[in-house]
């Protein structure tokens, strides 16, 4: 039983704590949050105790690993502390909003055997993974195109947007990683992006933020990838991945609570709305990532999605921002 402490008891941390507490292969050792009341609520609900500081977590002999779900500016610090204390870690994305800080962290932890897994949970979604497996098995022939649609049901509150670091580092970074997961050993060579504040132009002007984006990428081998994002899709949480190949297509589609449909004189195929948001849509993926993490720790192997994957996803985000700023196709080598 792997004893995991959860750092951060906000919305995502609460979910992680519940998953760790209920998982068959893990135990929730303790929780910590700078906002003590939040940690106390989670500890009471999940039957664990509250750590008085992050330092207590990393020093504890009762903790084998940590799950980092704190504010983004703390992620790199806690990864470094995890490595220093010999505790494996799962860290939410992104590692940091500043690529220089990520590079400094990479240098500091270079050569470590401590497992560090990034929270790119979409790799573990059953549908997305099945599509990739089918492609790798040759079911669609040679892969030509990857199309990723990722649209939120509603734009986040202003306070969230002020701290998120921009749509491409906050939201699209999941899609950059998913693209790399699907493209495999063929790395992205160039990036072109267009974006705007189409949903809330006033908020866009005040924060210099975008809420809608399309990114085109091409790999060294010539494969094409298209990512499209929107902060608001009025019909629900829209999550699709399409792999187009020489012999066919593999599609991982949206999820619904059930597949019942009604038909009448005025409508056909009326069905339930999509699962509302990421907590519901990717619930299986969040649990599966714990399985893969425990496997890595127990077997002494590198996690499937590690620190370098987080760094590479941020590099693609920076390339896309450079494309937006300069209105041109950007070579990834300009950033890396």
**Among the listed residues 284, 257, 280, the one whose alpha carbon sits nearest the alpha carbon of residue 121:** 284
pLDDT given for residue 180 in this prediction: 98
215 CB-near residues (< 8 Å, 6+ apart) = 168, 172, 175, 191, 192, 193, 226, 227, 228, 229, 320
* Residue 36 Cα distances to 7, 19, 26, 222, angstroms: 12, 21, 24, 51
- Round the CA-based radius of gyration of the chain to a whole number and report it: 20
pLDDT per position as a tens digit, 244-300:
999 999 999 999 888 899 999 999 999 988 887 888 899 999 999 999 999 999 999
Neighbours of 192 (CB within 10 A): 17
Asked if residues 4 and 67 have their Cβ atoms less than 8 Å apart, the reply is yes
pLDDT given for residue 277 in this prediction: 86
CA angle (68 as vertex; 62, 69 as ends), nearest 5 = 130
pLDDT at position 8 over 90: yes
Measure the CA–CA gap between 297 and 64, rounded to whole angstroms: 9
* pTM flag (> 0.85): yes
Taking the mean position of all CA atoms in its chain, how far away is CA 109?
A: 21
pLDDT per position as a tens digit, 123-168:
999 999 999 999 999 999 999 999 999 999 999 999 999 989 999 9
pLDDT per position as a tens digit, 169-228:
999 999 999 999 999 999 999 999 999 999 999 888 899 999 999 999 999 999 999 999
N-to-C CA span, the chain = 39
Measure the CA–CA gap between 146 and 224, rounded to whole angstroms: 6
Measure the CA–CA gap between 90 and 277, rounded to whole angstroms: 22
Asked if residues 91 and 68 have their Cβ atoms less than 8 Å apart, the reply is yes
For residue 104, what are its two tokens? 């400094």
Q: Between 205 and 333, name the one with better pLDDT.
A: 333
Residue 176 gets which letter from DSSP? H
Cα-flanking dihedrals φ and ψ of residue 136, to 5°? -70, -25
pLDDT per position as a tens digit, 88-115:
999 999 999 999 999 999 999 999 999 9
- As a whole number, mean pLDDT of residues 41-58 equals 97
Domains of the chain: 2-114 (3.40.50.720), 123-286+312-334 (3.30.360.10)
Taking the mean position of all CA atoms in its chain, how far away is CA 128?
A: 13
Residue 145 gets which letter from DSSP? E
DSSP codes, 42-69: HHHHHT-EE-S-HHHHHH-TT-SEEEE-
pLDDT given for residue 204 in this prediction: 85
Measure the CA–CA gap between 244 and 139, rounded to whole angstroms: 11
pLDDT per position as a tens digit, 293-332:
999 999 999 999 999 999 999 999 999 999 999 999 999 9
């Amino acid at each position: 039983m792997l004893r995991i402490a959860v750092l951060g008891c906000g919305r995502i941390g609460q979910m992680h704590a519940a998953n760790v507490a209920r998982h068959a292969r893990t135990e929730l050792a303790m929780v910590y949050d700078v906002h003590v009341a939040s940690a106390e609520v989670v500890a009471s609900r999940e039957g664990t105790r509250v750590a008085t500081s992050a330092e207590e977590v990393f020093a504890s002999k009762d903790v084998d690993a940590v799950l980092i779900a704190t504010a983004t500016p703390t992620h790199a610090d806690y990864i470094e502390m995890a490595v220093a204390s010999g505790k494996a870690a799962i860290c939410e994305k992104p590692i940091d909003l500043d690529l220089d800080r990520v590079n400094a962290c990479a240098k500091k932890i270079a050569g470590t055997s401590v497992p560090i897994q990034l929270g790119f949970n979409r790799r573990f979604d059953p549908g997305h993974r099945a599509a990739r497996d089918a492609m790798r098995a040759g079911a669609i022939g040679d892969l030509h195109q990857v199309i990723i649609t990722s649209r939120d049901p509603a734009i986040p509150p202003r306070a969230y947007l002020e701290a998120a670091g921009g749509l491409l580092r906050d939201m699209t970074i999941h899609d950059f990683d998913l693209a790399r997961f699907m493209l495999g050993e063929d790395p992205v060579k160039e990036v072109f992006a267009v974006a705007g504040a189409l949903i809330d132009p006033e908020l866009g002007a005040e924060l210099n933020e975008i809420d809608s984006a399309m990114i085109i990428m091409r790999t060294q081998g010539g494969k094409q990838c298209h990512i499209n994002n929107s902060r608001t899709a009025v019909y629900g949480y829209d999550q699709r991945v399409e792999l187009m190949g020489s012999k066919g297509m593999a599609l991982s589609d949206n999820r619904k609570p059930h597949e019942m449909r009604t038909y009448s004189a005025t409508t056909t195929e009326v069905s339930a709305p999509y699962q509302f948001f990421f907590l519901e849509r990717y619930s299986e993926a969040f649990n599966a990532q714990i399985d893969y993490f425990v496997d890595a720790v127990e077997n002494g192997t590198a996690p499937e999605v590690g620190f370098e994957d987080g760094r590479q996803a941020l590099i693609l985000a920076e390339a896309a921002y450079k494309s937006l700023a300069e209105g041109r196709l950007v070579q990834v080598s300009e950033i890396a």
